[in-house]
Amino acid sequence: MTSASCPSAEFTLTVQAADAHTLRVAIHGYLDYDTSDEFTPAVDELLDAHAEQHGPPLRHLHLDWTDLTAFDSSGLSALLALHRRTHPAGITLHLHHQPAYFTRLLEVTGVMGHLTQHARGAASPATAEAASDTASAPVP
């Protein structure tokens, strides 16, 4: 297991498992106003290390929230920033073992589905065209 460098003892990330297409990371401690600015660079460091070791085909980032002890709107903002990086790169976020207060905040703000929507991989022009045709097809 690998931990990301985080100056705060109240927040750490630990790599639980990795292969070419999947990275599993556990979040420990607080992801709130005091630590949220550490989250993005810490996850960026893990993603960069994964790319160096396994290459660019990462498709699934699993985040385990079992050891999360606090989460607020600043943590939500950091999680949305992570989505802005991973989704365009074709990486789908998977959220596991969320505490009730975490799930409640995602549901109240309406971002649960947004954060976990399936990311499209690098599509060929034909695939992208077919997807746009399907999206614009009339509904019977």
The CATH number of the domain holding residue 45 is: 3.30.750.24
**Percent over 90 (pLDDT), the chain:** 66
| Residue 14 clears pLDDT 60, i.e. is over it | yes
Q: Please, what is the average pLDDT of the chain?
A: 81
Full residue range of the structural domain in which residue 26 is found: 2-136
**Cβ contacts of 101-110, under 8 Å, gap ≥ 24:** 101/71, 102/65, 102/68, 102/71, 105/71, 105/72, 105/73, 105/76, 106/76, 109/76
Lowest-confidence segment of 2-11, 54-63, 76-85, 106-115 by average pLDDT:
2-11
How many domains in the chain?
A: 1
Mean pLDDT of 24-38: 94
- pTM here is 0.78
Span 54-95, pLDDT tens digits: 887 899 999 999 999 999 999 999 999 999 999 999 999 999
